[in-house]
Chain A
């Protein structure tokens, strides 16, 4: 038993960190550090540099153009990106639809779609949730009716992150409404977002930002060759996708980066005539989060080490639900402490951009104006990807036998 990384792994970490420091533009880093989503231009450019480096699809095997990294390398890579902070590779393509196409897709689909995912030339979004199908995803209603060599798609998806940037959507669609079980008769369909009949309508979130959308399908024609695998077995693809990359959900590197930032802020922010960090109650609450994070970091490393040993064998692990619940709770706790640090500035809304090199002195520090929006926006962490309550159901049923 040993917590230390090997010399090769430490060298790999240095290589990743050096690449990020050399390549990541200051503006992108500053925007990420402020808690904003990178612009499409910033994100796309960065994905392109990762692609040139051969690092844009960290989880993929070599034969599909991935770097063929071990689970430990992938963990280190993600942690370094989070700590920089730098954008991850575009997740909907590289972490979600890409692995599904590799596992279930036809050779033609692999040839058609994998290169654009690797390079970032094509942006993807995920069409799973519907107004009537949230936690109960399998009750989805969006239909795909086969007509000759096409499907005709009708229905509505919602909470679709970055649909307004996407070239393609991978959607769960009902192909057989008469199937005996609702999980049967669902297909996993790849749909061109430029298709006639698709309407994207923005949903503005609690922080005033536009990140998610409603997507409407009105007699959208999709060629049959865009169905991934069996048109009745799309649920298998969805389960496979949702079980992928469990250790990324803990976001330990992101929490570390936010805590470092919070500590710097708390040592410069006055409270009661002294720096806030000298307030014992604040400091203890922060220490309590650090303790939980340390435990989560070790738990994550246990899962990574187990994956490393299993050599790619994939099986459900109670840890994936735990990592999701704990990781989201920790980030939410940090966001609440940031609000406390902001104090009276908490009422101020942020500007569109972090004020980089402006001549005018800022009225409210950007970090303080961002504190409440982030605290509000990060409610999503315990809601998306299977709510924390659904994760508890999974733990109780699948692993505790209740």
Chain B
């Protein structure tokens, strides 16, 4: 039992934190957000230089060779600075599918361009009717010679309008909610028949509706088993949940720092408002929620190697349920403790709330995961 970081891990965190401290202040962030993409290509290049775009890939494939703990550290730091770049969509989601679903040849050709920042990926999974059910897939993939033809509509695809390639889930057989018969396809965004309508998200990012109409996909762009892709999808989503948990810890930490500064600085009735016990106790509750979340983010990172997929998924449901509840609580409380300034766009705590709200809405909210955990027997065997 060991919660220490290795020398390399400490170094990774320190260099990323330094970069973000220098170049991702709240005012700088506002400028990045005004870019049509909604994020900074210059920062993206800086991430590439630091190695965090190739973070989870094997060194032999052109990556950084990082594991779940490295991903946790990077996600937390990116969260604390409220970064806007598509690291999560490209490296964690897209990268996850390449790591667990692509052939070695395919990885060899794609990983270097992810690591150097030239290739952006997005995960096109959610459909109008699916909510967070990963097996609810109406989009179809029909065989066409060696390849496949995709038909369907995906919604709220994070960074879907900027991505060069999309990881698309589609049904190869069976009924809409069957757990088998789902394939995963890597689709070039410029393929004929693929149209995108981009839109803003509440946390200052971009997402897209993706419509697939007779979209042809070559056999080499199938990721994993086209007849049984759900285990692959679940594995990548579990990694995504672990990363989101760490990011949420970073965002909550940022909101807490702002709030503590405000409580000490803001005076009413002639004294700092932090001297009022009713606010002190709420600050203590925020601290407890964050420390519990930090523990769960660590638990998530250290549970990803669990060989039993069902047990791993139960652990991730516990993580997302706890993170979701804590994030909602911390977001609401930190805004409330600021008073009016807390609900303005010009102040960072509002952006923390927006990001935490987005994290709660991705890959299952707290109630969804609590139910899933409850339906699979909970964490403790009777």
Contact = CB atoms under 8 A, between A and B. Distances in A.
Interface stretch (B122-130, B209-217, B287-295, B338-346): B287-295
Interface string A381-402: 0000000010111011101111
B241 to A, nearest CB: 13
Interface in A278-301: 280, 283-284, 286-288, 290-296, 298-299, 301
Contacts of B292: 292, 295-296, 299, 326
A124 B299 CA distance: 40
A392 B281 contact: yes
A394 to B, nearest CB: 8
Interface string A56-94: 000000000000000010000000000000000000000
Contact of B285 (A293, A299, A304, A392): A392
B322 A292 contact: yes
B208 to A, nearest CB: 33
A33 interface: no
A322 B291 contact: yes
B361 interface: no
Contact of A295 (B260, B263, B285, B295): B295
Contact of A395 (B264, B279, B287): B287
B230 interface: no
Given A306-B3, A392-B281, 13 more contacts: A1-B9, A1-B69, A1-B301, A5-B1, A6-B1, A263-B380, A291-B379, A292-B322, A294-B299, A301-B1, A304-B1, A393-B281, A396-B281
Contacts of A389: 281
Contacts of A294: 296, 299, 318, 322, 379
Interface residues of A, number: 52
B275 to A, nearest CB: 7
Interface string A260-290: 1001100100000000000010011011101
A6 B381 CA distance: 23
A299 B281 contact: no
- Interface majority SS (helix, strand, loop, mixed), chain A: helix
A393 B264 contact: no
B280 A287 contact: no
B284 interface: yes
B264 A288 contact: no
A110 to B, nearest CB: 33
B60 interface: no
B373 interface: yes
A220 interface: no
B302 interface: yes
Interface string B364-382: 0000001101110011111
A318 interface: yes
A302 B295 CA distance: 8
Contacts of B322: 291-292, 294-295
Contacts of B381: 260
Interface string B289-333: 001110110110111000000000000001001100000000000
Closest 9 CB pairs of A and B: A396-B280, A298-B295, A263-B382, A287-B374, A295-B292, A392-B284, A395-B284, A283-B374, A402-B274
Contacts of B321: 287-288, 291
Given A286-B374, A295-B322, A302-B295, A4 B1 contact: yes
B299 to A, nearest CB: 5
22 contacts: A1-B2, A1-B298, A4-B1, A9-B1, A256-B380, A280-B375, A283-B378, A287-B373, A287-B374, A291-B321, A294-B318, A295-B295, A295-B322, A298-B299, A301-B1, A326-B288, A389-B281, A392-B281, A393-B277, A395-B283, A400-B280, A400-B283
A10 to B, nearest CB: 11
Contact of B371 (A6, A280, A326, A397): A280
A267, A280, A286, A292 — which one has the most chain B CB atoms within 10 A of its CB?
A292
B5, B375, B378 — which one has the most chain A CB atoms within 10 A of its CB?
B378
A264 B275 CA distance: 47
A61 B289 CA distance: 35
A283 to B, nearest CB: 4
A287, A319, A389 — which one has the most chain B CB atoms within 10 A of its CB?
A287
A322 B374 contact: no
Nearest to A72: B1
B260 A1 contact: no
Contacts of A259: 380
Contacts of A11: none
Nearest to B5: A1
A291 B280 contact: no
Contact of A290 (B293, B295, B302, B379): B379
Interface in A1-34: 1-6, 9
B7 interface: no
B275, B293, B301, B302 — which one has the most chain A CB atoms within 10 A of its CB?
B302
B281 A291 contact: no
Contacts of B274: 402
A4 B382 CA distance: 22
B4, B285, B302, B374 — which one has the most chain A CB atoms within 10 A of its CB?
B374
Contacts of A319: 291
B245 to A, nearest CB: 11
Contact of A401 (B264, B277, B318): B264
A47 B69 CA distance: 43
B380 A260 contact: yes
A395 B379 CA distance: 30
A103 interface: no
A72 to B, nearest CB: 6
Contact of B260 (A260, A283, A322, A400): A400
